[in-house]
Structure 1
Amino acid sequence: MGRVIKYEGGAMDTATAEKLKAFVRGDLTWSEVEGMTFEEAKAIAQVGCDLAAAGRYEEARILFEGLVEGNPKDSASRAALGTVYQKLGRLEDAVTEYCAALERDPSNPVALVNRGELYLRQGNRQGFTDLANAVEADPKGETSAGRRAKALVRAIALAAAEKLQVDPRAKA
């Protein structure tokens, strides 16, 4: 993987200068300036996921923070970084990343289910909406996030039904 930004003295080529100007204007991400391909970013993200699955959250954090820094528009990397922050107990940072992921992709099931769970733990009713949207985003439960969302919705519904049966005041 060759990189665009290699300064070895002398004048910078016009294409590189234009890419840098576009980055400064906000028209390109750093990943685009450097020429990182989707496949390269996906491979790095997979390593981050593998590290997280092995419980190596600090190392996963470093990779996902790098991916997000290089391309803040990448919803999947932002959701993955949020997940790592959540595992590290950095809950405010996790919510921030989930919100950023959802700005780009409002139907990102990972961001929806994880933010929904965190919101519910905080007593924020938006969590119910997030979980419902996560189920809607993956109605067949093809992703682990979609299956988790369905399980959480089912558990909440069962708990509510049990409360209605046990608490005679709830029937009134």
Structure 2
Amino acid sequence: MGRVIKHEAMEGVRMESGVVRRMRSFARGESTWAEVEGMTFEEAKAIAQVGCDLAAAGRLEEARILFEGLVAGNPRDAGAHAALGTVYQRLGRLEEAIAEYSAALARDAAHPVALANRGELYLRKGERQGFTDLSNAVEVDPHGETAAGRRARALVKAITLVAVEKLKEDSDQL
């Protein structure tokens, strides 16, 4: 990604056959723009790390731009969708965040960040799907190896305790 296209006289200039093949593959929906450009996994990972560092430093608009670029370049990347969702969430763009988490989960149904964050947003909206997402996040990260998994576990525990207390109150009133 990031190549500059120069306009020159095209007489006698042939496009490299590999480039043509990759472009046609992209046009048929068989490959991503990142693949056409030849972006490696390591390059995408490095860009994502810069995006995470920017977000951690509070530079959310810059992080948004990087993650939107990663998603545009490779819409199949669940991690990029989840990271973009997190940035949107921090920017207060909650519906867009839910859409990105959903896109991540469509590609990786066991993505703990997308499950935990979407679950939390759905709970805020009063939707039961939120508890399901949080429970699934705990299931995919049972030992709390990720911050998202630990947060999901804490939320599920808190919700369960509130529900038990509510049941106790209701049974005492009978």
Whether TM exceeds 0.5 here: the answer is yes
Question: 1:11 corresponds to which letter in structure 2?
Answer: R
- What are the superposed Cα offsets for residues 74-131 of structure 1, whole Å, 9 maximum, x if unpaired? 0001000000000001111001101110011000000000000111111110111100
Identity of aligned residues (%): 69
1:141 and 2:144 are equivalent in the alignment: yes
Report the CA distance shift for 1:4/1:20 in structure 2 as closer, same or farther (over 3 A).
farther
> Is the 1:51–1:59 Cα contact (8 Å) retained in structure 2?
yes
Report the CA distance shift for 1:14/1:79 in structure 2 as closer, same or farther (over 3 A).
same
Shift of residue 162, structure 1, vs aligned partner? 2.9
Aligned counterpart in structure 1 of residue 131 of structure 2, from 120, 128, 153 = 128
Provide the C-alpha distance between the structure 2 equivalents of 1:32 and 1:4, rounded to a whole number of angstroms.
Answer: 17
1:164 and 2:167 are equivalent in the alignment: yes
The equivalences for 1:59-98 within 5 A come to 59-98=62-101
Aligned counterpart in structure 1 of residue 155 of structure 2, from 145, 152, 155 = 152
- What are the superposed Cα offsets for residues 51-91 of structure 1, whole Å, 9 maximum, x if unpaired? 11111111100000000000000000100000000000111
Shift of residue 135, structure 1, vs aligned partner? 0.2
* Structure 1: stretches of 5+ with no match in the other structure: none
Question: 2:17 corresponds to which letter in structure 1?
Answer: T
Runs of 4+ in 1 over 3 A off after TM superposition: 1-9, 167-172
1:117 and 2:120 are equivalent in the alignment: yes
1:21 and 2:12 are equivalent in the alignment: no
Normalized against structure 2, the TM-score is what? 0.91
For 1:45, the equivalent position in structure 2 comes to 48
Q: How many residues align?
A: 171
Report the CA distance shift for 1:7/1:101 in structure 2 as closer, same or farther (over 3 A).
farther
Report the CA distance shift for 1:162/1:26 in structure 2 as closer, same or farther (over 3 A).
same
For 1:36, the equivalent position in structure 2 comes to 39
Provide the C-alpha distance between the structure 2 equivalents of 1:38 and 1:54, rounded to a whole number of angstroms.
Answer: 24
Normalized against structure 1, the TM-score is what? 0.92
Report the CA distance shift for 1:38/1:136 in structure 2 as closer, same or farther (over 3 A).
same
Report the CA distance shift for 1:16/1:146 in structure 2 as closer, same or farther (over 3 A).
same
> Is the 1:164–1:171 Cα contact (8 Å) retained in structure 2?
no
Task: Choose 154-163 or 12-21, whichever is displaced more.
Answer: 154-163
- What are the superposed Cα offsets for residues 123-156 of structure 1, whole Å, 9 maximum, x if unpaired? 1101111000000010000011111110111111
Question: 1:49 corresponds to which letter in structure 2?
Answer: C
Provide the C-alpha distance between the structure 2 equivalents of 1:35 and 1:6, rounded to a whole number of angstroms.
Answer: 19
Provide the C-alpha distance between the structure 2 equivalents of 1:7 and 1:23, rounded to a whole number of angstroms.
Answer: 22
Q: How well do the aligned residues superpose, as a CA RMSD in angstroms?
A: 2.1
